[in-house]
Amino acid sequence: MAEVTCLRGINLAGAEFGEVGEAHGKGYIYPSSGTVAYFANKGFNAVRLPFLWERLQPKLYEEFDQAEAKRLAATVELMRAKGMTPILDPHNYARYNGKIIGSEETPQSAFADFWRRLATLFADKNDVLFGLMNEPYEISAENWLSAANGAIAAIRQTGTQNLVLVPGTSWSGAHSWFGGDYGTPNAAVMLGIVDSANNYAIEVHQYLDADFSGKNEECSRAPDAVKALNTFSTWLRDNGRRGFLGEFAVPRAETCQAALAEMVASIETNRDVWLGWSYWAAGDWWPANEPLSIQPLKGRDRPQMQTLATIFADRGRCGR
């Protein structure tokens, strides 16, 4: 089993863009070799790769679309060739064609079937991480736990031992981990994860703006965001769990760069319970004015990338 430790990752968006039915290269795109190489050369050692469940599996319980599966597999190989850990990310918010997992239209068994097929596709690559689902919401923690455990069981039935990243409900926010947005808090329910391989970690996301959504071009709640991560670190330690920060970001403003460094420090100074982090986001199709993007612009690094560069230079914090 591949050791997973001190991941410093980037979300490379694009394969989750557009509407289902749009052609590759028209409505959506996988990251280019140039983009993957840029981030590998900068020091990133992992890529969280968002894609759409519906594109990969156009009909529930049926085979994957062959062309889409080849695109996904080829992109994973591109990352592995650069020494990067790929993290598969069905970017669906616990939905299929807009119907929530556990509904009549999208039964939990369909989610388990999807993951059985996806695990089989990467059965010989134990360095690929399986992110169960991006940001479930409007689903109770109990129902989400049931769906997650079913998917994990299906993965293990294939014989694969890959590390699984398990989010909570309520967008899997660190700040909301102890709240009851949809009933019982994640902090209580998600202790019920069952994995026969005992090879999983809890994935949370944390933004720093006024409503923690990442949609506002400011970082006014940076102290609260850092506090949420530190509190979550304590929860992980107290309960013998591991964590992964799957999404976080700041806009370009100079005042937000110290907050970005502090977020990373919160993870890397608690390496006994954290596997690492992945910044949101980059990708070939982000517009030039996207405030959180660190895709290089006309060959120049974004301010956030300049901040992260100082962190990559300090390899000691990663035990390297």
Residues labelled catalytic: 135, 247
* Structure token pair of residue 288: 């030039």
Q: Is 176 exposed, middle or buried (0-12, 13-18, 19+ CB in 10 A)?
A: buried
The length of the chain in residues reads 320
What's the helix, strand, coil split of the chain in %, to 5? 35, 15, 45
Taking Cα atoms as reference points, which of 315, 245, 243 lies closest to residue 278?
245
Q: Residue 229 and residue 178: Cα distance in Å, rounded? A: 12
Q: Residue 205 and residue 56: Cα distance in Å, rounded? A: 24
Tokens 């992945």, located at residue? 278
Q: Residue 95 and residue 285: Cα distance in Å, rounded? A: 24
Tell me, rounded to whole angstroms, the distance of Cα 210 from its chain centroid.
22
> Is the backbone of residue 94 left (phi > 0), alpha (psi -120 to 50) or beta?
left
Q: Is 277 exposed, middle or buried (0-12, 13-18, 19+ CB in 10 A)?
A: buried
Q: Residue 213 and residue 294: Cα distance in Å, rounded? A: 18
State how far the alpha carbon of 187 is from the alpha carbons of 10, 197, 285, in Å: 26, 22, 36
Residue 302 makes CB contacts below 8 A (sequence gap 6+) with 252, 293, 294, 295, 296
- The amino acid sitting at 118 is L
